[in-house]
Amino acid sequence: MRERWLQTLWAKQDWRGVRLQTHTGQLVHVLHPGFWNADQGPDFLQAQLFLDQVLWVGAVEVHVRTSDWFLHQHTQDPNYQSVVLHVVWQIDPRHPALPTLELSRYYSIPQLRESILRMGDVAMLPCHRIMRPVPDWLWADWRDDLINQRLERKGSTNRAFDRIGLRRSLARQLGAWINRDVFESINASIPDSLLLTLRLDHLAITALYLGQAGLLAGGFQDDYPTELARVYDHIRNQYVLNPPYRQLLWMRQRPASDPGYRLAQLAMLIHLGWDDPSYWQTDDFLDLARNLARIDVHAFWKERRNLDGVPINRKEYFSNRVVEGLLINIWAWMHPTNPGIQERWTRFCYEDNRITRLYAYLEIQNPTAADSQALLELNHQFCLHRRCGSCALASYWIQDQAPQSI
């Protein structure tokens, strides 16, 4: 038995009409299995399911046996406090006090193998068997629709176009895919009044963000992190600060994406006043990009990867990729008060990531950031939710005039 098989089964939700029940007899009705998490923490995040008549929203963890929960030391890991359902192949005498779904009650091992083979790769798109290049005019029209939907959706969820809202967006962007929610919670744990009081003190602002992230608790060999820890202890004793319960995720992080380094960059932006929306409201985006690229953090980060003193030689602080990412996403956040975003996106490079690479078969000509932003919206709002009937590409592919080969 392989844990990956069980994860694939849960992701696909191919239960053959079986009524699922937990080990205590609670009926399980899955509204959304959650998003498959390839990084540190539970296997599926933001799952939505009913246990009897009660709606639960949280994480789902998958194991071969219930005792694996203790073997993997999840009890001591705060990342697993949000688990609402434990999906296992077999319940053994040692198991956590969680609602548990035992899959061996519904499948034999040969049946499970057959189901997994039939499902194929769950990471593939629902239309991967018919995906082909599409005419430029079709993609251009659909891209414009997707971008408008993306901007409207972001505008409806980000209603506070002030310093607080902008700091939240900056935190999420610098946290990237893995730590954006954690960075947001760290930023939210620092009172706005305290930031206004200390914003001119770069050392204090940096100590606040790194300290609230739990990165200044240990002893350090270098003078700079030692001073940061001293400053944070002083601020924490003077003000009432409650660190967020969520922990940073460290798996598969590149040196340029080290969470401590990213938090230091966020602190520098706030120290220099880049949480002022007026900084971003300019038509000269090249000058804005140059100003961002020239921002330095403390010289410590030029020679160190992290606070523990791991050596590294950084050639730049804010790379072109980070600068473009900030501009793309901050402008999207400011869309209702700063029109013309889509035209600006066409001047930036196409964002090559694990999502956009799924759509390589479309063979988009001369792609830009406008195309990659449209593909992100397509994936998150259509493909993941199997809304193929509302997709212009799927409608084209099922027509007789669609090309039969690429």
Which pLDDT belongs to residue 263? 92
Quote the CA–CA distance of 128 and 309 in Å, as a whole number: 45
CB burial of residue 153 (10 Å; 0-12, 13-18, 19+): middle
Which pLDDT belongs to residue 339? 65
Q: Are 297 and 268 in contact (CB under 8 A)?
A: yes
Which pLDDT belongs to residue 405? 46
CA nearest to 183, candidates 296, 270, 259, 80: 259
Q: Which amino acid is at 16?
A: R
Quote the CA–CA distance of 284 and 208 in Å, as a whole number: 33
Which pLDDT belongs to residue 56? 93
Query: With b meaning 16 or more CB within 10 Å and e meaning fewer, what string describes 170-201?
Result: bbbbbbbebbebbbbbbbebbeeebbeebbee
CA distances from 349 to 268, 321, 330, 403 (A): 26, 9, 16, 29
Quote the CA–CA distance of 156 and 175 in Å, as a whole number: 22
DSSP lists the bridge partners of residue 44 as 36, 60
On whether the pTM is more than 0.75, the answer is no
Which pLDDT belongs to residue 205? 95
Q: Are 130 and 397 in contact (CB under 8 A)?
A: yes
The three-state secondary structure class of 313 is coil
Which pLDDT belongs to residue 402? 47
Which pLDDT belongs to residue 94? 83
What does the pLDDT profile of the chain (406 residues) look like in tens digits?
678 888 888 888 877 778 899 999 999 999 999 988 877 789 999 899 999 989 999 999 999 999 999 988 898 888 888 899 999 998 988 888 899 999 888 887 777 777 666 555 545 677 877 888 989 999 999 999 999 998 888 766 655 668 888 898 899 989 887 788 889 999 999 999 999 899 899 999 999 999 999 889 877 888 889 999 999 999 998 888 888 866 777 665 565 678 888 999 999 999 999 988 888 877 777 788 888 888 888 888 877 777 877 777 666 677 788 888 888 888 877 766 566 778 888 888 888 887 898 898 898 989 999 999 999 999 989 988 888 889 999 999 887 444 554 4
Q: Are 334 and 161 in contact (CB under 8 A)?
A: yes
Quote the CA–CA distance of 150 and 371 in Å, as a whole number: 12
Specify the residue for token string 């399980």: 28
Between strands 44-51 and 27-32, the pairing is antiparallel
